[in-house]
Amino acid sequence: MRHARAFGLALALALPTAVPAGAAGAVNLVLNWTPTADHSPFYFAKAQGWYEKAGIDLTIETGKGSGVSSLRVGSGGSPFGIADLATMLVARSKGADVVALMSIYANTGQTFYWLKSYGVNGPKDFPGHKIGNPPGDASRVMWPAFAKAAGIAPDSVNFVNVGPTAKIAALKSHTTDIISDFYNEHDLKVIEFGSDLGYVNWKDIGLNPYGNSLIVNGAFMEKNPKLVEDFVKITQKAYAACVADAAPCLKALLDNVSGLDRENQERQWERIKYLMTDEFTTTKALGWIDGGRMKKDYELVQTYLGIEKPFDVQTAFSTKMLDTSIKMDPSKVKN
């Protein structure tokens, strides 16, 4: 099956680069992809010395997809990571020792984009076309779920390996007919393609699983509960600070990551605030993960992808380390 092959590729990508977690204070965070605005709070908190003051020596590592980061963290190769939660559940069912601690995207950012001039006007037109994304991409792993919800055969498309930064170029050159990307990158495509751009967010066809989230290796959390709690609360505080004022956060990102356009990152952050906002993050705590929604996500994975080894989904996440006094501010969300 396609998702099994995708996880095989993800495993191959994850294992060769896996490194020991190291001393308790020295920790690694493996991102889901290359650093962009949604990762800026980590760079901001690090620049402010918040992690250091808590005795955390943080290294931020560029990722190669949610499938890779889930396996990397789950194998103990990195204490912390960022991953799409549905993809993380698949990894956990395959034996990955991984737990979600904080949602970043309360709404799914998964979106497919295409050009209408290529003869695609919606998901029903996907069969026979090429979809471009990296092998560890969450949308490739979760493709069977999208295909079934859209009423098309999972094996009706071909996947083309396209790097995270090459998606627009691949679509423009017709190397691929459709690309998957996060909604936070939406404006860049609108600027590039204008009225020829077509798109569908997964929630538009009834799929809204939790998106990118902070995950931790279970054994590491058991051995270092105070460090993990400090890491979660600092990260939560950083996201709240960036919602209040994005400028210093984006500066911290741009100071550490080359090749990013400030205006594009500013546009991204506005979309990200929308993705961060739901009834739970605004009332319970910023980053809250709801048990009922996780149950539905588990059922989605079980139905469309299969759970290799069933587990209680309530053990796959924890909200105990979140600061409930920090909530998402909906007044800062424009769209």
- Compare 318 and 65 and report the one with higher pLDDT: 318
pTM, to two decimals: 0.83
Residue 171, pLDDT score: 97
Going from N- to C-terminal start, the domains of the chain cover 2-107+209-332, 110-205
Backbone angles phi, psi at 80, to 5 degrees: -125, 155
How many angstroms separate the CA atoms of 69 and 80, rounded?
9
Indicate if the pLDDT at residue 287 is higher than 60.
yes
153-157 long-range contacts, CB within 8 A, separation 24+: 153/127, 154/1, 154/2, 155/2, 156/126, 156/127, 156/128, 157/126, 157/127, 157/128, 157/129, 157/130, 157/131
Give the CB-side neighbour count of residue 104, counting CA atoms within 13 A.
Answer: 29
Opening angle at CA 148, ends 145 and 151, nearest 5: 150
In CATH terms, are 2-107+209-332 and 110-205 the same topology? yes
pLDDT tens per residue, range 153-184: 999 999 999 998 899 999 999 999 999 998 98
Q: Which residues pair with 227 in a beta bridge?
A: none
Is 2-107+209-332 assigned to CATH 3.40.190.10?
A: yes
Confidence of residue 223 (pLDDT cuts 50, 70, 90): very high
pLDDT tens per residue, range 65-121: 888 999 999 999 999 999 989 889 999 999 999 999 999 999 998 999 999 999 999
User: What's the Cα-to-Cα distance from 149 to each of 132, 146, 211, 216, rounded to whole Å?
Assistant: 20, 5, 18, 30
In this structure, how many other beta carbons lie within 10 angstroms of the beta carbon of residue 115? 18
Q: Enter the CATH code of domain 110-205.
A: 3.40.190.10
